[in-house]
Amino acid sequence: MRTDVTTPQGIFVMPQHLTVPIYQRPYVWTEDEQWGPLWADIRRVAEHRLGSAGSMATHFLGAVVTQQAEAAPVGVQEFQIVDGQQRLTTLQLVLDATAAVFKGRGFDALGGQLEMLTHNSDVYVSGDEPGLKLRHTNRDRAAFDEVMQAAPPFDYSALKGRESLLIKAHEYFFGRVGQWLDQGLESAAVRADALSVALQSALQLVVIRLEASEDSQEIFETLNARGTPLTAADLIKNFVFQRLRLEGQDQAKVYQEAWPFETRFWEEEVSVGRYSTTRSALFLSQWLVSRVGQEVSPRSTFTRFKFYVEHESRTSMVELLEVITEQADFYREVTERSWDKHADLDRLALHVYRMSVTQSEITKPVLLWLTEPGSPYSEATVGRVIASVESWIFRRRLLRLQSSDQGRIAALLIETARGKSDVDLVGAVEQFLASQQFASTYWPGDEEIETTLATEAFYRRFSQPMQRVFLQAVEDWFRGYATPRRSKTGVRVHRDKQQVEHILPRSWKANWPVDDLAAQADRDDHVNRLGNLTLITASLNASVSNGAWLGDKGKRAALNKHDTFLMNRRVHEISAEGWNEELIDARTIELTRALLDTWPVPAGHEGKVIDRKSRLTKATVGYADLISAGLLDVGTTLVCADQRWPDARCEVLPAGQVLYEGEAFSTPAAAARRIRGGSGNAWWFWRVEGGPLLNTLRDRLLDGAAAEDSDVAEAEAPAPDDDAD
């Protein structure tokens, strides 16, 4: 290995072939991120030379790595570009575009000097091969060759590859150079000379030259292209093909026939939590988790992949690549199937669709593990395992529990269940998930979900896509798809963007009046509950949506006439006398049962949690929690504890609302703000008439949760040893 600090002239002047290997990623530099800053650097150096005679100003462009190819019997020497192909390609485009501008202005000598850095002399060119010193062998080849061999004046719009970034870059620099020559006080000839010197000898690069026998991977891993960091997929790709070379494989053939990631599907950016990555990088990370049964962070994907190949995998790279390719094809197929809104999806594609709505990728490693080549698991077993994992996730989502620890549990599930037989796998997975007893990971039981959803403001708590997924599951339940006991009717509901409609409208006061303020508060509390929501295929006219329920032109008739969903037929059946809070409560129970049947738990599972206190803190306790715990009754009178407002009093309404001076407020805090004219701590502002502060009731609730945790911990603690001190 030899390392030199050199210039474009030092790199490009000798007759040679600098080859971009076929497996390297395509050209990705853009104007905003790279061309503009590079041109600014070049222009700055050239202008410094114009202003200071004899200036030795330089600009450092970064590092590149090349490796000498095996010597050919005849012809020029070939060097593989191990790293820095984006930078070297762009320099070639700048030099060629500038040479074209110079020749167009009559500066033939200067243009010829630059052309010597981009094109080999005719004496070194044989046959029909292009005389270019830098050669692309991947999909960029045609566009690069076309623009670098085109004769000025250029008509970029007439080039076949005019949409290529390579041709756009050439056009960008051609235009900028021409504009720059016409600026300033100096003549164009003087400015051209300064620019020529800057391009040839004022730009510096570190060039690491490797012998043919040296391993280039370690150096490659530490270097990135300017402003466009290599993804885990890029690093893995280069590592894979380096290993293939060592195994004596035909890299070009393997790349063409086996490398699956050179399509728009794999290159698309996808969001995962707070960061974005390519789908190929995401897949490789998930594939790795499926293999090792451990969480793998995005930043460590490549290093963990390399360790797996070198120390854990017992197969050759060509054999491992066959596995990766087969699973990548399956991954793409099931993902694309899940995008079909009208297909009758199989269990795996339906799962992928549902998880995409949750914007979660944590189950993909489980899916890849279950379906890996040679898997002993039947289609039925895979479907049941996926159903259990989906139930664990969606039940937690119904309670809006945290999801930050789910990736670890998914990886641990793979590690725990790997090796189980087809007969034993489902039971092992269910037992593993049921054994999770911490708030961050437990599998909620029926009772907790039923209690929560009975009064939950469902419409406010979930995004529109999540509401749609839950209600689609309900419709599938009505069609017989959730339980074996029901006969299936037709196919699953299509996954179009159906409208989520309030049966009792949010703007209910004009056509749905009630007698008093307490009833108004109760109606407001019911309007956003699960039982008052439904799906429709198209929005109802506002006058119908907010209009009366009964009558030939009422909302009930409109839903029955214009909609085919079974859930709406059920609404029609039970609402002949009207639609009210009692029916909303009854329908909430029915729809909750549909959701629980869709995502069931093993018989007898309760969803036991041994650290409930972590879910109940001063920051999370709400006024409605006091009512649910029996510490505060609906109808109780609260009085102001602040002596400045001795006459202030309110009445407790359902769901933690209060009635103050004839007006319903969403919380005691909202009423307190009205009284004070500003914010403050409502827990200390209100007390039960003749009783404690709300803050005291909150402390009692938290103390009760702490005592419950203590009882559970004591009951489950191991007995002390007889010989213990």
pLDDT reading at 541 higher than 70: no
The reply to whether 607 falls in a domain is no
Q: Based on the fold, state whether residues 527 and 546 are members of the same structural domain.
A: yes
Closest alpha carbon to 316 in 416, 227, 240, 428 = 240
pTM of the model: 0.66
- Section 655-661 average pLDDT: 86
- Section 347-363 average pLDDT: 94
Q: Based on the fold, state whether residues 422 and 458 are members of the same structural domain.
A: no
Per-residue pLDDT, 611: 53
Q: pLDDT per residue over 580-636, tens digit each?
A: 989 999 999 999 999 999 999 999 999 988 754 445 677 778 888 888 777 888 788
Per-residue pLDDT, 220: 64
Q: CB pairs under 8 A, 24+ apart, for 490-495?
A: 491/344, 492/344, 492/345, 492/350, 493/535, 493/565, 494/341, 494/342, 495/341, 495/342, 495/353
Contact 191, 178 (CB under 8 A): no
Per-residue pLDDT, 705: 56
pLDDT reading at 711 higher than 70: no
Q: What is d(CA 42, CA 53) in angstroms, rounded to the nearest whole number?
A: 17
pLDDT reading at 723 higher than 60: no
Is residue 712 exposed (0-12), middle (13-18) or buried (19+ Cβ within 10 Å)? middle
CA distances (Å), origin 103, targets 49, 178, 394, 510, 547: 22, 11, 67, 79, 77
Q: How confident is the model at residue 216 (pLDDT cuts 50, 70, 90)?
A: low
For the beta sheet containing 649-652, the strands, ordered from the edge strand earlier in sequence to the opposite edge, are 663-665, 658-660, 649-652, 637-640, 686-688
pLDDT reading at 456 higher than 80: yes
Q: What is the 3-state secondary structure (H, E, C) of 504-526?
A: CCCCCCCCCCCCCHHHHHHHHHH
The reply to whether 605 falls in a domain is no
Q: Based on the fold, state whether residues 540 and 680 are members of the same structural domain.
A: no
Closest alpha carbon to 565 in 600, 533, 542 = 533
The reply to whether 227 falls in a domain is no
Q: Based on the fold, state whether residues 422 and 462 are members of the same structural domain.
A: no
The reply to whether 226 falls in a domain is no
- Domain stop point among 175, 192, 221: 221
pLDDT reading at 321 higher than 60: yes
Sign of CA dihedral 44, 47, 48, 49: positive
The reply to whether 359 falls in a domain is yes
Q: Based on the fold, state whether residues 67 and 120 are members of the same structural domain.
A: yes
Q: Based on the fold, state whether residues 197 and 303 are members of the same structural domain.
A: no
Q: Based on the fold, state whether residues 49 and 157 are members of the same structural domain.
A: yes
CA distances (Å), origin 181, targets 103, 108, 176, 187: 13, 15, 9, 8
48 Cα distance to chain centroid:
46
Q: What is d(CA 473, CA 479) in angstroms, rounded to the nearest whole number?
A: 10
Q: Based on the fold, state whether residues 65 and 195 are members of the same structural domain.
A: yes
The reply to whether 723 falls in a domain is no
Q: Based on the fold, state whether residues 69 and 105 are members of the same structural domain.
A: yes
Q: What is d(CA 633, CA 297) in angstroms, rounded to the nearest whole number?
A: 49
pLDDT reading at 226 higher than 70: no
Element (DSSP H or E) covering residue 178: helix 165-181
- Domain stop point among 572, 598, 624: 598
Q: pLDDT per residue over 109-134, tens digit each?
A: 999 999 999 999 888 887 777 889 99
Residue 589: partners with Cβ closer than 8 Å, 6 or more residues away: 450, 454, 531
For every residue of 472-506, DSSP letters joined together read HHHHHHHTT-S-TTSPP-SSPPP-S-PEEEESS-S
Per-residue pLDDT, 376: 95
Q: CB pairs under 8 A, 24+ apart, for 515-519?
A: 517/659, 517/662, 517/663, 517/664, 518/651, 518/653, 518/659
pLDDT reading at 713 higher than 50: no
Amino acid at 280: S
Contact 160, 142 (CB under 8 A): yes
CA distances (Å), origin 630, targets 400, 633, 709: 23, 7, 19
Q: What is d(CA 74, CA 88) in angstroms, rounded to the nearest whole number?
A: 25
Q: What is d(CA 110, CA 192) in angstroms, rounded to the nearest whole number?
A: 8
Percentage of residues of the chain with pLDDT beyond 90? 45
The reply to whether 348 falls in a domain is yes
The two three-digit tokens of residue 112, written as one number: 């010829």
Q: Based on the fold, state whether residues 581 and 701 are members of the same structural domain.
A: no
Residue 392: partners with Cβ closer than 8 Å, 6 or more residues away: 433, 443
- Domain stop point among 189, 221, 253: 221
Q: Based on the fold, state whether residues 155 and 266 are members of the same structural domain.
A: no
pLDDT reading at 725 higher than 50: no
User: How many domains is the chain partitioned into structurally?
Assistant: 4
Range with lowest mean pLDDT among 158-167, 482-491, 589-598, 691-700: 482-491
pLDDT reading at 663 higher than 70: yes
Q: How confident is the model at residue 721 (pLDDT cuts 50, 70, 90)?
A: very low
The reply to whether 721 falls in a domain is no
| Mean pLDDT, the chain, whole residue set | 86
Per-residue pLDDT, 222: 58
Q: Based on the fold, state whether residues 284 and 424 are members of the same structural domain.
A: yes
Per-residue pLDDT, 221: 62
Sign of CA dihedral 544, 548, 549, 550: negative
Contact 121, 61 (CB under 8 A): no
Q: pLDDT per residue over 360-403, tens digit each?
A: 999 999 999 999 999 999 999 999 999 999 999 999 999 999 88
Closest alpha carbon to 11 in 97, 109, 94, 118 = 118
Please compute, for residue 309, the number of CA atoms within 13 A of its CA located in the half-sphere on the CB side: 24
Per-residue pLDDT, 524: 87
| Residue the block writes with tokens 């504009």 | 179
Q: pLDDT per residue over 53-98, tens digit each?
A: 666 777 888 888 898 887 654 568 889 998 889 999 999 999 999 9
Structural domain boundaries, residue 416? 232-441
- Section 226-237 average pLDDT: 72
